[in-house]
Amino acid sequence: MTSAIPLPLRFQVGARTMFSVKRRLVRVGLSLDEAMAGEALDFPHLGGADHGFLVTSLRENRLETVAGQYPGMLALVRQRYTRRFADTAQSFDAYLATFSGKSRSTLRRKVRKFTEASGGALDIRTYRTPDEITEFQTLARKVSAKTYQEKLLDAGLPDDPDSKAEMIRAAAKGEVCAWLLFVENEPVSYLYAPADGDTLIYAYLGYDPEWARHSPGTVLQVEVMKQIIEEGRFRRFDFTEGDGQHKRLFATDGVACVDLLLLRKTPGNYLLAGALTAFDRCVGFAKGLGLGNWARRLTR
């Protein structure tokens, strides 16, 4: 049975967390296949000290049904997004044909300019075996420590012993691929993607901010997609939960999803749900008034 763990419920402005409140929640994370299928969910039982469930990547048209399974709980949508993925069971030319002409031109230009800036050739290395993943961890961490994901969002490549051990275990089972982009033998961007059957999962992407104007993350993603498609082992690349320009650019399809929070009806949880709802509405209202840039400056 899945156990409840302390999870932060964040009051966020964009990607920046202003503050958070922890609750003991059972996280029900749906895979891409489960999100696409939209089948009935089998929830585990809650312990006496547990506050509820956090269901991620729930297909949007299942929202009322799932919430209706638990009329004794508070149901709160935390975010709505398209869970995007790329069809990699096609030729690379066919994949590129799904992009707009402008996007294809932009990608080619970025790859060309990065190649010129890095000495005339791209140096991209692939890591799969346990020994290779150990090397990848060491090199990619040098990049991750510089990224905004790690400095601002605490979302860099994990460096704790348990995460490292899990990466090596996945490599031993042939269930992970990782890549590094180098310039003059120094890593400037990384991508780590565990596998779920014939689907690769977009887990961690980062790049050295000193190379930001050369779009190393985009260049690496282009070349990785080409390699995946040409190898023919995987039929999908899953860009996972949430949304963003990078995911929208490289995806070919998507599923409308929500993250659903189900909380026990206690006085504290009523207050928390009300505060989260009010805060999210205020942020949305500010964005509607064109105050998004002001809000981002406020959180720096």
Count the helices and strands in the chain (H runs, E runs).
11, 11
* Backbone angles phi and psi of 54, in degrees to 5: -120, 110
CATH (domain of 154): 3.40.630.30
The number of folded domains in the chain is 2
Q: What is the pLDDT along the chain (300 residues), one digit of tens a residue?
A: 468 999 999 898 876 788 899 999 999 999 999 999 988 788 888 888 899 999 999 999 999 999 998 888 999 999 999 999 999 999 999 999 999 999 999 999 999 999 999 999 999 999 999 999 999 999 999 999 998 776 656 668 999 999 999 999 999 999 999 999 999 999 999 999 999 999 999 999 999 999 999 999 999 999 999 999 999 999 999 999 988 899 999 999 999 999 999 999 999 999 999 999 999 899 887 877 765 554 444 444
Q: Does 201 share its domain with 118?
A: yes
Q: Does 35 share its domain with 71?
A: yes
d(CA 31, CA 29): 7
How far from the centroid of its chain's Cα atoms is residue 33's Cα?
16
Domain span holding position 277: 5-82+254-298
How high is the pLDDT of residue 38?
Answer: 82
pTM of the predicted structure, to 2 decimals = 0.88
Q: Does 29 share its domain with 111?
A: no
Computed from CA positions of residues 130, 133, 138, 144, in that sequence, does the dihedral angle turn out positive or negative? negative
Q: Select from 141, 206, 148, 147 the least CA-distant residue to 167.
A: 141
Pull the structure tokens for residue 53: 């469930």
Q: Does 136 share its domain with 170?
A: yes
Q: Let me know if residue 241 belongs to a domain.
A: no
